[in-house]
Amino acid sequence: MVLLPNTIKPNKKAKKTSKRKGRGNASGAGNFSGRGMAGQRSRSGGKSGLKLRGFKQLLKSTPKLRGFKSLKDKPAEILVSALEKHYQEGEVVNLDSLKSKSLISKNEKVAKILLKGEIKKKLVIEGIKTTKGAKEAIEKAGGEIK
């Protein structure tokens, strides 16, 4: 079959109309119209409709939050190679200078220097955490950590 504008048809199941209930007993959906016996829920507008039932499904489907989320800020990670690239000899490395050189986000409150790459410049690090390997590499290059 060739696909042309005049041969396009919707899927057979897509056009199915909903069954109109309560149109007499001859229709096959008369008498109680699929609502069971008498009572509040068999009447139109009975119970609370689908609002609360839908909300229950929404509650069920939301994942349970397991464990806990730490209130401590996670440090932004800075590599030793980035310090080598962006800083001159004898410069002071602190949180403000890292933000001004766009090495970390302006919203960061804590930073940590990681050992990846090499450093040959003497740098003064103030108020920034370092890993053991990064500390050794900075001190070996002649820098200091305050």
CA distances for 27 relative to 15, 18, 19, 43, 137, angstroms: 21, 14, 10, 20, 86
CB-based burial label for 60 (10 Å; 0-12, 13-18, 19+): exposed
Mean pLDDT of 97-103: 92
Domain ranges of the chain: 76-145
For the segment 32-48, the average pLDDT, to the nearest whole number, is 80
Please state the φ and ψ torsions of residue 40, each to the nearest 5 degrees: -60, -40
Locate tokens 């949180």: which residue? 95
Q: In what order do the strands lie in the sheet with 76-79?
A: 76-79, 111-114, 129-130
Q: Are 126 and 93 in contact (CB under 8 A)?
A: yes
pLDDT band at residue 28, thresholds of 50, 70 and 90? confident
The reported pTM is 0.53
Q: Could you tell me whether strands 76-79 and 111-114 are parallel, antiparallel, or unpaired per DSSP bridges?
A: parallel
Give yes or no for residue 49 having a pLDDT over 60. Answer: no
Nearest to 145 by CA among 75, 100, 82, 83: 83
- The correct answer on CATH 3.100.10.10 for the domain covering 76-145 is yes
